[in-house]
Chain A
Amino acid sequence: MLKLTAISHDYGQGTVLADISLDLAPGRVLALTGPSGCGKSTLLHMAAGLVTPGAGHVSNTFRRTACVFQEPRLLPWRTARENIAFGLKALGVRGAERRSRSEALARRLGLEDALAKYPHQLSGGMRQRVALGRALAVEPDLLLLDEPFGALDAGRRAELQEMLLSLLRERGLAALLVTHDLAEAERLGDELVVLSGAPGRVLERRATQKRL
Chain B
Amino acid sequence: MGGIRHGTAHGTGQGAARRTWQKLWPGAVGLLGFFALWQVGALTTDPIILPSPGATAKALVRLAADGRVAGAALATALHTLGGFGLAAAAGGLFGLAAGLSATVRRMLAPVVTIVQGVPQIAWIVLALLWFGPSSAATPIFTVAVGVLPVIFAAVVSGISTAERPLIEMARTYQTPKALLLTDIYLPHLISYLFPAVTAGLGIGWKVAVMAELMAGADRGVGAGLARARTNLEVADAFAWIAIIVVMMFGLEYLVLHPLRRWLEPWRAGEGEGGRRRAEADRD
**A69 neighbours in B (Cβ, 8 Å):** 165, 169
Question: Taking A76-B266, A90-B174 as contacts, is the C-beta distance between A71 and B276 under 8 angstroms?
Answer: no
Assess the A126–B4 pair: CB atoms within 8 A: yes
Assess the B270–A65 pair: CB atoms within 8 A: no
Size category of the B interface is 20 to 34
A interface SS class: loop
Q: Is B228 an interface residue (CB 8 A)?
A: no
**B281 neighbours in A (Cβ, 8 Å):** 123-124
Instruction: Give bound CA distance, A180 to B70, whole Å.
Output: 68
Instruction: Give bound CA distance, A66 to B266, whole Å.
Output: 26
Q: Which of A126-150 contact B (CB under 8 A)?
A: 126, 138
Instruction: Give bound CA distance, A79 to B280, whole Å.
Output: 17
For the A-B complex, the count of residue pairs with Cβ-Cβ distances under 8 Å equals 74
Assess the B165–A71 pair: CB atoms within 8 A: yes
Q: Which of B149-207 contact A (CB under 8 A)?
A: 165-166, 168-176, 179, 183-184, 187, 191
Query: What's the minimum C-beta distance from A168 to chain B, rounded to whole angstroms?
Result: 19
B interface SS class: helix
Assess the B173–A91 pair: CB atoms within 8 A: yes
Partner of A73, one of B165, B174, B176, B187: B165
**B3 neighbours in A (Cβ, 8 Å):** 123, 125-126
Instruction: Give bound CA distance, A87 to B175, whole Å.
Output: 8
Assess the B277–A122 pair: CB atoms within 8 A: yes
Identify which of A9-17, A28-36, A94-102, A113-121 touches chain B: A113-121
Q: Is A204 an interface residue (CB 8 A)?
A: no
Partner of B183, one of A48, A86, A92, A120: A86
Instruction: Give bound CA distance, A75 to B277, whole Å.
Output: 18
Instruction: Give bound CA distance, A58 to B101, whole Å.
Output: 32
Assess the A90–B175 pair: CB atoms within 8 A: yes
* Minimal Cβ-Cβ distance residue in B for A89: B179
Instruction: Give bound CA distance, A76 to B165, whole Å.
Output: 12
**B273 neighbours in A (Cβ, 8 Å):** 120-121
* Minimal Cβ-Cβ distance residue in A for B186: A77
Most buried by A among B3, B166, B175, B184: B3
Instruction: Give bound CA distance, A122 to B5, whole Å.
Output: 10
* Chain A residues proximal to chain B, CB less than 8 Å: 48-50, 65-67, 69, 71, 73, 75-79, 86-87, 89-92, 110-111, 113-114, 118, 120-126, 138, 159
24 cross-chain CB contacts under 8 A? A50-B172, A69-B169, A73-B168, A75-B184, A77-B187, A77-B266, A78-B266, A79-B266, A86-B173, A86-B183, A90-B175, A90-B176, A90-B179, A91-B173, A110-B1, A110-B4, A114-B4, A118-B266, A120-B277, A122-B277, A124-B277, A125-B3, A126-B3, A138-B173
* Chain B residues proximal to chain A, CB less than 8 Å: 1, 3-5, 165-166, 168-176, 179, 183-184, 187, 191, 264, 266, 269-270, 273, 276-277, 280-281
Given A90-B175, A92-B176, A110-B1, 10 new contacts (CB under 8 A): A48-B172, A49-B171, A50-B171, A75-B184, A89-B179, A90-B170, A90-B176, A121-B269, A123-B277, A126-B3
